[in-house]
Amino acid sequence: MNPPVAELERQLHYPLGEALPTPGAALQVAPGIKWIRMALPFALNHINLWLLRDEMDGRCGWSVVDCCISTDSAKSNWEQIFSDELEGLPILRVIVTHMHPDHIGLAHWLCERWRVSLWMSATDFHLARIGTSGPTAFGGDSAAEFFALHGLNDPDSVTKIRGRSNYFLSLVPSVPRQYRRLLDADTLLIGGRRWICISGYGHAPEHISLYCPELRVLIGGDMMLPRISTNVSVYDQEPEANSLKLFLASIDKFKALDAATLTLPAHGKPFTGLHRRIEQLHEHHQDRLAEVMSACAARACSAADIVPVLFKRALDLHQTTFAMGESIAHLHLLWFEGRLHRRLDSDGVLRFQRVSATAPEAGA
């Protein structure tokens, strides 16, 4: 039986209590760090953004970390931030943790507005550029065929997924043409303090978190969330990825950080208890993997069969695509470990079943 969310949350500490920034305003969470919160039109209804007091090329100002999706309301929030929270100083650079729309959506607008550079990993920059190259760059036919291969093949779902070819472009209309590359273990000097880049995989192609040893502050992006588990998925662009293995290895990098670290997540509230949260996420996925193994011991299962095993609530199409990606990720970890056998059945669907003494090895 999985512990309820409230019990897991009690094992963490929220230094700001129930305080939240209001739209168009910011809260200071540490010296030189302000917290911004903007609305999202999804079940996950907000994103946290960060202002870091900075100095570059002899100019005082602010670095922005993450941007929100491109909407008029988000731009309006930013304009109010510019007016009320920058203390008369400019934005000096835009740092993006990864290429998902809620993080990069307004990067182009911010960079043009302040005539500054975008800083992010190369992998995520180039994938975001591909995503904005046209309405068929992500999703559409390729996504529909991939999910059908994994059992989501009812005509209604296939039609709806095919129709989502414009989804990324609708939230991220453009990405800057140039950028400054961030790599694992790079050190950025922000406001006179060292911030270390920590790469993460499994959620995004090359997510970059930032850690300041002096402040004992981690900007975790989506790699370290306090209340929900990060979506870890396999999608059509890399159809045989072992995303969950990559994710679990990535969060273990945070074990080396100070136990008293204040984690600033992309969703949820700033928290301490980083090491316990790493343990919780491992426990969560081990429980999910056990459920998948049990299901695949009873019969051969597609990823679509696993969705209701992992997600007990009703899902809309947007949530279902995430759930499919996550189901495939759990199946793949067990398949790559040799604990499940994969076969392509006569109906064109991939199914996975627990390996018996006579079953082929993983990847066969």
pLDDT in tens, 111-167: 999 999 999 999 999 999 999 998 767 888 999 999 999 999 999 999 999 988 888
Q: Rounded to an integer, what is the distance from CA 241 to the centroid of its chain?
A: 16
pLDDT on residue 234: 98
With tokens 């949260």, the residue in question is 277
Tell me phi and psi for residue 147, to 5 degrees. -70, -35
Predicted confidence (pLDDT) per residue in 241-279, tens digit? 999 999 999 999 999 999 999 999 999 999 999 999 999
- Name beta bridge partners: 56: 59
Residue 192 zone, left/alpha/beta (φ > 0; ψ -120 to 50; rest): left
What is the Cα 277 distance to its own chain's centre? 16
Residue type, 270: P
Q: Which residues, given as ranges, of the chain have pLDDT below 70?
A: 1-2, 136, 357-364
Would you state the pLDDT for residue 364? 42
- At the topology level, CATH places domain 5-282 in Metallo-beta-lactamase; Chain A (3.60.15)
For residue 354, what are the contacts with CB-CB under 8 A and spacing of at least 6? 293, 296, 297, 339, 340, 341
With contact defined as beta carbons under 8 Å apart, do 117 and 178 qualify? yes
For residue 359, the model assigns a pLDDT of 47
What mean pLDDT value characterizes the chain? 95
What is residue 94's predicted lDDT score, i.e. its pLDDT?
A: 98
So where are the chain's domains?
Answer: 5-282
* DSSP code, position 254: G
pLDDT of residue 135: 77
**pTM for this entry:** 0.95
| Placement of tokens 């069969």 in the chain | 305
Beta-sheet pairing, 217-221 with 187-190: unpaired
User: Residue-wise over 122-143: b if at least 16 C-beta within 10 A, else e?
Assistant: ebbbebbbebbeeeebbbbebb
